[in-house]
Structure 1
Amino acid sequence: MSIGLSTYAFFWQLSSRVEKPLTLVEVVDKTAELGVGLLQICDHPAIEDFDAEQLRALRAAGDAAGVAFELGTRGLRPEHLRRYLDIADVLGAKVLRSMVNTADHRPTPDEALADLRAIAPELAERGVDLALETYEQVSTAALVELVEGVDHPRVGICLDPANTVAALEQPSAVVDRCAKHVLNVHSKDFAFTRSEGWVGFQLAGALMGAGLLDYDHLLDRVRPDERGVNQIVEHWLPWQGDEDATRKTEQLWTAHSVDYLRSTRP
């Protein structure tokens, strides 16, 4: 198992909310500065427009820094996944995370199954795992049923129990249901806070180990070290009022998460 960072760990630093957003090469360098050797470029559609030369340059930057890559996108349409498999070939990525729905396509269970069966042989040929993320738009039961319907060793689950809270699923139950199918883990903590005036709650990120994620339970059930499942650091960090505070807090959370995950390894 490797500890990795997601581009979601640099969410605000990559965004238009800051005066000078990071480039992906800068993210690679910052990943290496933390002694981390894996970066998941996740939900970063700009990479789809990279030409071959730009992708090779990014791969060279990763090689020079000792940082390998994973990829993340949304959707199951085979033609879309093939584009990401082409990108994975250049970057040397062996994991592609995706989600069932996109903004303009919500496949039926039969359509989703057909799409996955169509792409599975190509995953095998290219040596890439496709990990479908747990999230509130698709019940965990339905996601597991889909993965079991495909019944292919290259198709599994990206476990992120925080996402399913919005569908009133218990994170520990999600971990139990998905454990044997997990090919990738998104490691982020979360907590509820009272909204102003005590009217309702907000679900947002928390410093790793300080929120509601039962991380020990996740480790016990998934056994990422034993099974070679990478754990990818993400955050749900709210904007901190200004750019400087947000950037510093994002960096602090990332460094803390890396240290926390390292501290749990045997």
Structure 2
Amino acid sequence: MPQLAVFPKAFMHALCKDGSMCLAEWISLAVKLNVEGLEWYAGFLEMANEKNWPGFRQQVEDHGKVIPMMCCSPDFTHPDRVFRQREIEKQKRWIDMTFALGGSYCRVLSGQRRPGLSMDEGVKLAADCIAACLPYAQERKINLILENHYKDDFWEYPEFAQKMDVFCKLVESLDHPCFGVNYDPSNAFLAGEDPLELLKRVSHRVLTMHASDRYLKEGTLEDLRKEENGTAGYAKRLSHGEIGKGLNDYDAIFSELKRVGFDNWISIEDGVDGMDQLERSVTFLRHKLEQYWPVTANHN
């Protein structure tokens, strides 16, 4: 059966920008949930000091949980070669961070969809940078996972490989045993596309998943697509919400994942309206996992 992790979506500013929350506080909240792991974010303020890394792993493991996944946002589509090389070095440090925390999966992205960047050029830039990181990851038994992303919280432009055809082209250009997909169904809606169509195109490459649900607070998805460029952070029309009550069809998603033999980590990006909401989302997903990956008794 796949295992569940949680991500502190509601506390990103507090943990990454103003320091109004410390990681020990988040850990104390998360370990009370019915999950096996806590997904980490490379931009947590307290992770800047490498001496802190072993201590956070110990704190989590002391509660019987693990840190399976690292969420980070390399920007590999910048036109300047020196900038891209710095991003490769940052990604390698995040791989080291993942290793130190005991994780096995470290996210990569393509980069920002800057004006004037063609599809072929952007795919080549991103693929070359990811390929440059893969031997380093393999040495540490870390898998790099490319997410069909919308936009990092702190980026100006949306993800270069946001659109399905671009994302699939980038995935297909990278054939390596330590590379796969982190599938996020909600992000496909933001590209104006069907998350199930995307899943069927890449399900054989999916190593991990982000689970969330999204709602439009006003207007339509078409309105959202018209205003996405050049806006820092997430679009105002969009809202995270309780999983199972939004746009995603989790029965169809889990049916396809079960069909291809998926049995790995699902990290929950939720709880923006409080820990009670996050707990309800955990309960919903736990029930679905038991439905699609039932535990059978061993009768000897």
Tell me: CA distance 1:16–1:48, structure 2 relative to 1, closer, same or farther (3 Å): closer
Query: For residue 214 of structure 1, what is the aligned residue in structure 2?
Result: 249
Q: Which amino acid aligns with 1:55?
A: W
Contact map agreement 1:189 1:209 (CA 8 A) in 2 = yes
Secondary structure of the corresponding residue to residue 136 of structure 2: helix
Structure 2 unmatched runs, 5+: 77-86, 151-158, 225-236, 295-300
TM-score, normalising length: structure 2: 0.74
Query: For residue 155 of structure 2, what is the aligned residue in structure 1?
Result: none
Q: Which amino acid aligns with 2:99?
A: D
Give, in whole Å, the separation in 2 of the partners of 1:46 and 1:157: 27
Partner of residue 178 from structure 1, selected from 202, 206, 212:
202
Residues 200-242 of structure 1 show CA distances to partners (whole Å, capped at 9, x for unaligned) of 67332232111110111111112299432211110384xxxxx
Give, in whole Å, the separation in 1 of the partners of 2:66 and 2:260: 18
Matches within 5 A, 1:27-176: 27-42=26-41, 44-52=43-51, 54-69=52-67, 70-75=69-74, 76=76, 77-102=87-112, 108-136=122-150, 137=159, 138=161, 139-176=163-200
Query: For residue 285 of structure 2, what is the aligned residue in structure 1?
Result: 261
Structure 1 unmatched runs, 5+: 238-248
Tell me: CA distance 1:128–1:3, structure 2 relative to 1, closer, same or farther (3 Å): same
Give, in whole Å, the separation in 2 of the partners of 1:213 and 1:173: 12
TM-score, normalising length: structure 1: 0.83
Contact map agreement 1:156 1:183 (CA 8 A) in 2 = yes
Tell me: CA distance 1:174–1:236, structure 2 relative to 1, closer, same or farther (3 Å): farther
Q: How many residues align?
A: 248
**CA RMSD across the alignment:** 2.7
Contact map agreement 1:48 1:84 (CA 8 A) in 2 = no
Give, in whole Å, the separation in 2 of the partners of 1:212 and 1:174: 15
Residues 22-73 of structure 1 show CA distances to partners (whole Å, capped at 9, x for unaligned) of 3112222222111322111136352551222x11111111121122112111
Secondary structure of the corresponding residue to residue 67 of structure 1: coil
Tell me: CA distance 1:89–1:43, structure 2 relative to 1, closer, same or farther (3 Å): closer
Q: Which amino acid aligns with 1:176?
A: K
Give, in whole Å, the separation in 2 of the partners of 1:9 and 1:256: 15
Tell me: CA distance 1:89–1:222, structure 2 relative to 1, closer, same or farther (3 Å): same
Partner of residue 262 from structure 2, selected from 203, 210, 227:
227
Tell me: CA distance 1:169–1:185, structure 2 relative to 1, closer, same or farther (3 Å): same
